[in-house]
C-alpha cells in the first residue's frame, strides 16, 4: 500500500462533517446576541423616522422613536448601542458637540431613563457638527489636532454627564484617548469607559454612513488622520498607544476587509477587540440581495461569524436586530 493510500484510510476529515450533530459538536466559534452593538442615528424632531436611502432597512430616528427602538433592541437581547447624532446646527467651532442640550446629550438621557440596563456608547468626533464634515476642527484646509482634542474632551464629558456608559472616539486625532481619560477622571467619571476606534482606516466603505449623518467631507479626504489601508504595523502602533493612554476596548474598522488586523490585534494585546461592520459592507449585501444575487440572511450570519472567528469580541453592525432575531 502506498503512503498516500494509508493517509486516506487514517485521515477522513469529512467524518466530522457527516451529520448536523457532529458539525455542531466540533464547531469552534459561535456568534451570540451578546456580541452585538447596534449603531443608532438620532435626528432632531419628534415622532419621525427616515430610511437612509443608501442603507435600505436602516433609519434615522427622532429621540422619542429611538427610545422605542432601544426597548426593542434590549428585548431582543442586544446589550449595547453606539449613538450618532445629527445636530440642529453645524458650526465651525463644533460647539453643538458639547452642548448639554445637544442631540446626543438629550438622546442619552432619554434612552438611559427608559432602558437603563442597555449599554450606551456614544460617538466622539466632530464630523456631523461642523460644516466641513471632518472629524476635527479645520483651519486653512488643515485638520487641527490639539485644538480638536480639547473639544473632544468637552464632548466626552458632556456625554458622561448625560449618562453614557462608554464614549467611543472615532476621530483618529493623536493623543485623544489619554486626554479624554484625564478629562473624564477630573470630572468624576472614572467609571465611564473608552472604546477607542484605534485602527481606523481611511476607507471608501464609509460612504452610506456619511449619507445617513449628512457628514460627507466638504473638501479633501480623511487620509491625514485615518490610516492607509496598505498598513498593518501602523495599526499595531495605534492600538498600543491607545491602550497605554487608557482605552478599555479597541476597535478595528472597517470589518470584513480588515480581519487580518483584528487577528493581529487579538494575538498581540490582552484587551477586548471590537470590529465595525460598516455601512458600505451593509449596503453591498443589501444591494446584491435586492437583485436576488445572494441569500441576505446567510451572508449576514456568515459575515458576523467570521468576524468572531478572526478574534472580535464585539461586533458593531446595522444587522444587529436581524441577527438577534435569527439567533433566538
Which residues of the chain form contacts with ligand PBG (CB under 6 A)? 123, 125, 127, 135, 170-171, 206, 209-210, 222, 278-279
Closer to ligand PBG by Cβ: residue 206 or 258: 206
Answer yes or no: 154 catalytic.
no
By the 8 A CB rule, do 35 and 308 touch? yes
Question: Is omega for the bond preceding 83 within 30 degrees of 0, making it cis?
Answer: no
DSSP one-letter code for 120: E
Residue 284: all three cell numbers together: 453591498
By the 8 A CB rule, do 69 and 57 touch? no
DSSP 266-316: HHH--S-EEEEE-HHHHHHHHHHHHTTSS-HHHHHHHHHHHHHHHT-SEEE
Distance of CA 148 to the CA centre of its chain: 21
Distance of CA 139 to the CA centre of its chain: 28
Q: What is the smallest separation between the CB atom of 4 and ligand PBG, expressed in angstroms?
A: 49
Q: What is the smallest separation between the CB atom of 249 and ligand PBG, expressed in angstroms?
A: 15
By the 8 A CB rule, do 108 and 159 touch? yes
Closer to ligand PBG by Cβ: residue 114 or 289: 289
Q: What is the smallest separation between the CB atom of 279 and ligand PBG, expressed in angstroms?
A: 3
Answer yes or no: 253 catalytic.
yes
Distance CA 300, CA 322 (A): 9
Closer to ligand PBG by Cβ: residue 169 or 193: 169
Residue 52, burial from CB neighbour count under 10 angstroms (0-12, 13-18, 19+): buried
Q: What is the smallest separation between the CB atom of 191 and ligand PBG, expressed in angstroms?
A: 24
By the 8 A CB rule, do 118 and 72 touch? no
Closer to ligand PBG by Cβ: residue 97 or 268: 97
| Among 90, 112, 222, 253, the one annotated catalytic | 253
| Among 90, 112, 200, 222, the one annotated catalytic | 200
Q: What is the smallest separation between the CB atom of 47 and ligand PBG, expressed in angstroms?
A: 26
Closer to ligand PBG by Cβ: residue 74 or 132: 132
Catalogue the active-site residues. Answer: 200, 253
Amino acid at each position: 500500500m502506498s503512503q498516500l493510500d494509508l493517509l486516506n484510510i487514517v485521515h477522513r476529515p469529512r467524518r466530522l462533517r457527516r451529520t448536523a450533530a457532529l458539525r455542531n459538536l466540533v464547531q469552534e466559534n459561535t456568534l451570540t446576541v451578546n456580541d452585538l452593538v447596534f449603531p443608532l442615528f438620532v435626528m432632531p424632531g419628534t415622532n419621525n423616522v427616515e430610511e437612509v436611502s443608501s442603507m435600505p432597512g436602516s433609519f434615522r430616528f427622532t429621540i422619542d422613536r429611538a427610545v422605542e427602538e432601544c426597548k426593542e433592541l434590549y428585548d431582543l437581547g442586544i446589550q449595547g448601542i453606539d449613538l450618532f447624532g445629527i445636530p440642529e446646527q453645524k458650526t465651525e467651532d463644533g460647539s453643538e458637540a458639547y452642548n448639554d442640550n445637544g442631540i446626543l446629550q438629550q438622546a442619552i438621557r432619554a434612552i438611559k431613563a427608559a432602558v437603563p440596563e442597555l449599554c450606551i456608547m456614544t460617538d466622539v468626533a466632530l464630523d456631523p457638527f461642523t460644516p466641513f464634515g471632518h472629524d476635527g476642527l479645520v483651519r486653512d484646509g488643515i485638520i487641527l489636532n490639539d485644538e480638536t482634542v480639547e473639544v473632544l474632551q468637552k464632548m466626552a464629558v458632556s456625554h458622561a454627564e448625560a449618562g453614557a456608559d462608554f464614549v467611543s472616539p472615532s476621530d483618529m486625532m493623536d493623543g485623544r484617548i489619554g486626554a479624554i481619560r484625564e478629562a473624564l477622571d477630573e470630572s468624576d467619571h472614572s467609571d465611564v469607559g473608552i472604546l477607542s476606534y484605534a485602527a481606523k482606516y481611511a476607507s471608501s466603505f464609509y460612504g452610506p454612513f456619511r449619507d445617513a449623518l449628512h457628514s460627507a467631507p466638504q473638501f479633501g479626504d480623511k487620509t491625514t488622520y485615518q490610516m492607509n489601508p496598505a498598513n498593518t504595523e501602523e495599526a499595531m502602533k495605534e492600538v498600543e498607544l491607545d491602550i497605554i493612554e487608557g482605552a478599555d476596548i479597541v476597535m478595528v474598522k472597517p470589518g470584513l476587509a480588515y480581519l487580518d488586523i483584528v487577528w493581529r490585534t487579538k494575538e498581540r494585546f490582552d484587551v477586548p477587540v471590537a470590529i465595525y461592520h460598516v455601512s458600505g459592507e451593509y449596503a453591498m449585501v443589501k444591494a446584491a440581495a435586492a437583485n436576488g444575487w445572494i441569500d441576505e440572511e446567510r451572508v449576514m450570519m456568515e459575515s458576523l461569524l467570521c468576524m468572531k472567528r478572526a478574534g472580535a469580541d464585539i461586533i458593531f453592525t446595522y444587522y444587529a436586530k436581524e441577527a438577534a432575531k435569527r439567533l433566538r
